[in-house]
């Protein structure tokens, strides 16, 4: 028993060689993107990266208490607030894709024929078709609420409006079971497409559906222990042209399109404090 205890404690300290702790969203982690990118970084710099994959809201909350060194999230206005509050510095736009409205192939609300994203939301609302919301303060949830608001609709008290309270993958599975619509990021949708019976019904370049991933270093002036050197090193690595190309190429062969499009640091939506 004692030996097992020792083993347990050793595991806690063995990896303590100044790792970088990255709080991020489930979409970049569960799609396997980080597993494809980070080993190269670790090999070059010797810095191990510890990834905590949660929703954007939780990732920013973790980093905002000084419990992570960097964040990679997808909610530009929340990122701007994080910078404004002095919790983050050195924002960089890493990649983008688009949000997709997925739903049953039968498409009872005729979302596929909608002229715009707002029109699609209005059609779902008018049809009273089941819609699964993340309900979890994630970047996707944030966008979904913004879409309802922009469409002038309030779905909260509607009987067809369901909140899953779980990650994107689980929410897609729930939507498939319930034959419901849901808003998803393209990356997770493509990655899950073969595992759930849902059609990508509204999947078009639309400024309202733009999904941009931003990286920030947690402010080392605010939290003295932050591994800022490593956080800046990863920032530089992710912005490097060859790594950006690797991001764009990730799983492109399998799906015939990029899960994540490189931005080379040039934001589609400006994130200003």
Partner 1 sequence: MTLPWAEVVEIAARSLGVAAAATFLAALVGLPLGVWLGARPRKGGLGAQVLLYAGMGLPPVVVGLVFYFLLSRSGPLGGLGLLFTPAAMVLAEAVLAFPMVAGFTLAAVRARADGVRRLVRGLGGSERQVLATLLWESRRPIVAALAAGFGAAISEVGAATIVGGDIRHHTRVLTTAVVLETRKGELESALALGAVLLGVTLVVTAILVVWGERR
Which part of the chain contacts partner 1 (CB under 8 A), choosing from 62-70, 71-79, 150-158, 178-186? 62-70
- Contact of 76 with 273, CB cutoff 8 Å: no
Closest to 237 measured CA to CA, from 84, 51, 46:
46
Out of 1, 43, 115, 266, point to the residue binding partner 1 (CB under 8 A).
1
State in angstroms the smallest separation of the CB of 119 from partner 1. Answer: 30
Cite the DSSP H helix spans in the chain.
Answer: 2-14, 26-30, 33-45, 56-64, 76-84, 117-127, 139-150, 168-178, 186-192, 228-239, 241-249, 252-255
State in angstroms the smallest separation of the CB of 182 from partner 1. Answer: 14
12 binds partner 1 (CB under 8 A): yes
b/e code 85-123 from CB counts within 10 Å (16+ = b): eebbbbbbbbbbbbbbbbbbeebebebbebeebbebbbb
The residue (of 127 and 170) whose beta carbon lies closer to partner 1 is 170
259 binds partner 1 (CB under 8 A): no
223 binds partner 1 (CB under 8 A): yes
Out of 73, 173, 247, 259, point to the residue binding partner 1 (CB under 8 A).
173
DSSP 1: -
Residues 97-136 interacting with partner 1 (rule: CB under 8 A): none
Out of 36, 40, 52, 269, point to the residue binding partner 1 (CB under 8 A).
52
7 binds partner 1 (CB under 8 A): yes
């Amino acid at each position: 028993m004692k030996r097992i205890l020792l083993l347990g404690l050793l595991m806690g300290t063995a990896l303590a060689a100044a790792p970088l702790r990255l709080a991020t969203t489930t979409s970049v982690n569960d799609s396997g993107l980080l597993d494809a990118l980070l080993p190269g970084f670790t090999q070059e710099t010797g810095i191990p990266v510890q990834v905590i994959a949660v929703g954007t809201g939780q990732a920013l909350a973790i980093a905002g208490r000084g419990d992570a060194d960097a964040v990679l999230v997808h909610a530009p206005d929340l990122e701007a607030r994080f910078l404004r509050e002095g919790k983050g510095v050195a924002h960089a736009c890493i990649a983008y894709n688009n949000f997709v409205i997925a739903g049953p192939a039968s498409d009872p609300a005729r979302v596929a024929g909608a002229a715009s994203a707002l029109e699609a939301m209005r059609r779902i609302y008018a049809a009273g078709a089941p819609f699964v919301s993340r309900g979890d303060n994630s970047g996707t949830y944030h966008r979904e609420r913004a879409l309802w608001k922009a469409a002038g609709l309030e779905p909260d008290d509607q009987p067809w409006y369901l909140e899953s309270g779980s990650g994107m993958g689980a929410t897609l599975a729930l939507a498939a079971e319930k034959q419901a619509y849901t808003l998803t990021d393209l990356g997770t949708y493509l990655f899950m497409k073969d595992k759930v019976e849902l059609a990508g019904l509204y999947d078009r370049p639309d400024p309202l559906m733009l999904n941009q991933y931003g990286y920030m270093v947690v402010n080392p002036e605010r939290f003295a222990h932050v591994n800022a050197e490593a956080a800046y090193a990863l920032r530089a690595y992710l912005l490097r042209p060859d790594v950006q190309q690797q991001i764009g190429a990730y799983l492109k062969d399998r799906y015939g399109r990029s899960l994540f499009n490189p931005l080379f640091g040039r934001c589609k939506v400006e994130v200003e404090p």
